[in-house]
Amino acid sequence: MPDTQTFQSETTGHTHSAADYPVRPINPWKAWQAFQGLVRDKEDTRYVFAFFENVNGRSYTKFYERFTASEYGQSILTDREQVGRVLNDRATLESYGPGTFAAAYLDYLDSEDLKPEGVFEAHWAQAPKEMAAMRDNWPGLYAVSYMMSLTHDLYHVLSGYSRDPLGEALLLVFTGTQTNGRGPKWLGRLAGLRLRYEIPSWPVGRMMAEAKRNALAATPFYTTDLTALLPLPLEEARARLKVNPPQLYRDTLAAYDGPAPVAVRA
């Protein structure tokens, strides 16, 4: 197995360590400003990445080291475009038929007017210089960023958390629990507090606890080739990953008939 702690720059030939990646220092004030931007415009994904960049610190590189220790991680480092090729091949995804994970994914994209690389493009829009530097000097981290961005929508479909503000907040908790990423965990909690303020009747704390339990019970998504499960029936794919249904989240939304919350969407 190749060394998972270092990787070769594709353009300069220099070898860099994940620990050398120039992360931003934790800046609570800038993170708070980014969160307030999301509250004002929950569709502007750039604020999500601005929040992450100001709270992640070294937690992302620690996640990278865990990811690259896996067989799937090594395959992504070898071929970073593999996820994009699968998710952009709509004809093949459609050929798997109704009821499959692929069909649920396409329905999710169409219903939300999304495209497979939308989250990744938003990351580039937020920090083009940083993304270009990562691509050129830290290609391993860039490959992981690409994979995680494209699989975000697969996480939605598999976990059962929709793209409504509550579902986004709970998915952040789910993802942060699995990856131990400071950014998604903190943003999910802040979004939950905001939702609790807007709709006091919602058991947000218990729903977050449910998201955490489900994340811990499930097979880690980030070390699994989720695209290999796309031809399967959706429930079979969930069963293979040991994904429990977010029942309290579903029951809460089903029982609620008030105005939609304006809180964060990732």
Contacts of 131 by beta carbon, 8 Å cutoff, 6+ apart: 123, 124, 142, 145
On the question of pLDDT at 166 being above 80, the answer is: yes
pLDDT for 191: 92
Q: Are 44 and 38 in contact (CB under 8 A)?
A: yes
The per-residue pLDDT for range 19-55, each reduced to its tens digit, is: 556 667 788 888 888 888 878 877 677 778 788 787 8
Amino acid occupying residue 96: Y
The per-residue pLDDT for range 105-148, each reduced to its tens digit, is: 999 999 999 999 998 998 888 788 888 988 988 888 899 989 99
Chain center to CA of 175:
6
pLDDT for 199: 94
**Other residues' Cβ atoms within 10 Å of the Cβ of residue 16:** 17
> In angstroms, rounded to a whole number, what is the distance separating the alpha carbons of residues 159 and 34?
26
The per-residue pLDDT for range 203-224, each reduced to its tens digit, is: 999 999 999 999 999 999 999 9
In the block, which residue shows the tokens 């507090």?
193
> In angstroms, rounded to a whole number, what is the distance separating the alpha carbons of residues 182 and 174?
12
The DSSP line for 96-117 is: T-TTBHHHHHHHHHHHHT--TT
Helix (H) or strand (E) holding 188: helix 182-198
> In angstroms, rounded to a whole number, what is the distance separating the alpha carbons of residues 25 and 52?
11
Reading the block at residue 90, the tokens are 């709509």
Q: Are 64 and 20 in contact (CB under 8 A)?
A: no
Amino acid occupying residue 103: A
Report pTM: 0.85
Q: Are 80 and 139 in contact (CB under 8 A)?
A: yes
Reading the block at residue 133, the tokens are 């530097």
Alpha-carbon separation of residue 247 from 40, 61, 213 (angstroms): 29, 33, 12
In the block, which residue shows the tokens 């008939």?
257
63 compared with 166, residue with greater pLDDT: 166
Q: Residue 7: pLDDT band by 50, 70, 90 thresholds?
A: very low
Strands 6-8 and 15-17: antiparallel
- β strands within 22-127, DSSP E: none
